[in-house]
Amino acid sequence: MDQGSKKKHGRKRYSILLVALLLIGVATYGTYAYFTDSKKVDSGLNLKKGSVTLGEFKDANWTYKGNTKEDDQSFTNEKLTFTNPNIEPKNTATTFTNVLPGDTFTKTITIPYTGTAKADITVTMSSQLPEGIAHSFTVTQNNTVTTIDKNEMVLDTISPNETLSFNLTIHIPYGAENDARNTAQSEDLLSSIPDLIQVTATQHLETTK
Q: Which of 50-54, 169-173, 191-195 has the highest mean predicted lDDT (pLDDT)?
A: 50-54
Residue 184 clears pLDDT 50, i.e. is over it: no
d(CA 89, CA 69): 19
pLDDT at residue 202, rounded to an integer: 92
Shortest CA distance to 155 belongs to which of 129, 126, 135, 125? 125
User: Which position has the higher pLDDT, 115 or 58?
Assistant: 115
d(CA 185, CA 128): 13
Q: Provide, rounded to the nearest whole percent, the portion of the chain with pLDDT above 70.
A: 66
Coil, strand or helix: which one is 85?
A: coil
Q: Residue 11 is which amino acid?
A: R
Answer yes or no: are the C-beta atoms of 87 and 104 closer than 8 Å.
no
| Confidence class for position 203, pLDDT limits 50, 70, 90 | very high
Residue 45 clears pLDDT 90, i.e. is over it: no
User: Which position has the higher pLDDT, 160 or 146?
Assistant: 160
CB proximity list for 64: less than 8 A, separation 6 or greater? 84, 87, 89, 90, 91, 92, 93, 96, 103, 104, 105
Shortest CA distance to 63 belongs to which of 45, 38, 49, 80? 80
- For the ranges 33-42, 67-76, 181-190, 194-203, which has the lowest average pLDDT? 181-190
Residue 61 clears pLDDT 60, i.e. is over it: yes
Map out the domains of the chain with their CATH numbers.
Answer: 58-203 (2.60.40)
